[in-house]
Amino acid sequence: MPTIRINDVDIYYEDSAPNDQQKPVMVFAHGLLWNTHLFDKQVEYFKDSYRCIAFDFRGQGQSEITKSGYDMDTLTEDTLALLKALQIDKCHFLGLSMGGFVAQRIAIKRPELLLSLTLLETSADPEDPKNIPQYRKLVKAIRWLGMKRVSKKVMPIMFGSSFLADKSRKADRREWLAMLQGNRKGGVVKATTGVIERLATYDQLSAIKTPTLIIVGDEDVATPYAKAERMHFAIAGSKLVVITGAGHTATVEEPEQVNKAINKFLANFM
């Protein structure tokens, strides 16, 4: 799959139908410490009806690690440049966690590009001051010890208790733990710092007129239900769906529930 040079960075992306100009487009933006694989189950489900594009943010997955540019505004500019380079005039945009921080900024800055907005496991607030010391400690540990040594502490932040305790999903857990451990240290440190230092978008949410779906797992400890509800009340006409038995990575933990919710929402546009 290709990389594309935009904003002086090589961005890796996957496109399920690069030559199809007829299908509506879905764009997927992943969360911190992950990559395009976060949406494998969604792409598989929707690719027959939609052109599905997933990409890796700079410093993560297979995209280039740069010295700077990890603030949410620069990541938003990267994403807009990708859409322009791929000649995407309109799309259904889905962002999870960090991808959701970027998705909100696109909806605020460039609403004409969006047919719909889906915000998964995300927040419009800055990082909770209570969490910042813990996350700074995590960044320090990654810098000195590497991702492998801290990955098991990250799993309960990323996944809910149901997924972590399910004996039948041991192979799944092993696969996602290995993916966490495969992160490149330099990129992870920079990307995590960008997330910790992000600015709020909450005061601008009332400007979003794009049809919006908000999805949250009922076991999400990173961005719990209250954060999702706060966005829901701020974005007029938005829909809020709770995924049962899922944490911060519902696309992986409960893909059938997530796909059903997205499919029902997108049916309004067919």
- State if pTM tops 0.85: yes
Q: What per-residue confidence (pLDDT) applies to 20? A: 95
Q: What per-residue confidence (pLDDT) applies to 204? A: 98
DSSP 134-184: HHHHHHHHHHHH-HHHHHHHHHHHHS-HHHHH-GGGHHHHHHHHHHHHTS-
Q: What per-residue confidence (pLDDT) applies to 1? A: 60
Instruction: Write the pLDDT tens digit of every residue in 216-256.
Output: 999 999 999 999 999 999 999 999 999 999 999 999 999 99
- Three-class secondary structure of residue 73 per DSSP: helix
Cα 71 → chain centroid? 15
Residues of the chain predicted below pLDDT 50: none
Instruction: Write the pLDDT tens digit of every residue in 79-109.
Output: 999 999 999 999 999 999 999 999 999 999 9
Q: What per-residue confidence (pLDDT) applies to 131? A: 83
CB 191 within 8 A of CB 57: yes
Residue type, 192: T
CB 88 within 8 A of CB 196: no
Q: What per-residue confidence (pLDDT) applies to 14? A: 98
DSSP one-letter code for 197: T
Q: What per-residue confidence (pLDDT) applies to 145? A: 85
CB 218 within 8 A of CB 248: no
Residue type, 109: K
Describe the chain by its helix, strand, coil percentages, rounded to 5.
50, 15, 35
Q: What is the CATH number of the domain that holds 232?
A: 3.40.50.1820
Q: Rounded to an integer, what distance in angstroms lies between the CA atom of residue 230 and that of residue 8?
A: 36
Q: Rounded to an integer, what distance in angstroms lies between the CA atom of residue 125 and that of residue 231?
A: 9
- What range does the domain containing 31 cover? 3-269
Q: Rounded to an integer, what distance in angstroms lies between the CA atom of residue 154 and that of residue 203?
A: 30
- Number of domains within the chain: 1
Record the tokens describing residue 77, joined without a space: 């500019």
Q: Show the beta-strand stretches assigned E in the chain.
A: 3-6, 9-15, 25-29, 51-55, 91-96, 114-120, 212-217, 239-243
CB 45 within 8 A of CB 33: no
End-to-end Cα, the chain, rounded Å: 29
Record the tokens describing residue 10, joined without a space: 């090589």
Nearest CA among 92, 249, 120, 127 for reference residue 198 = 127
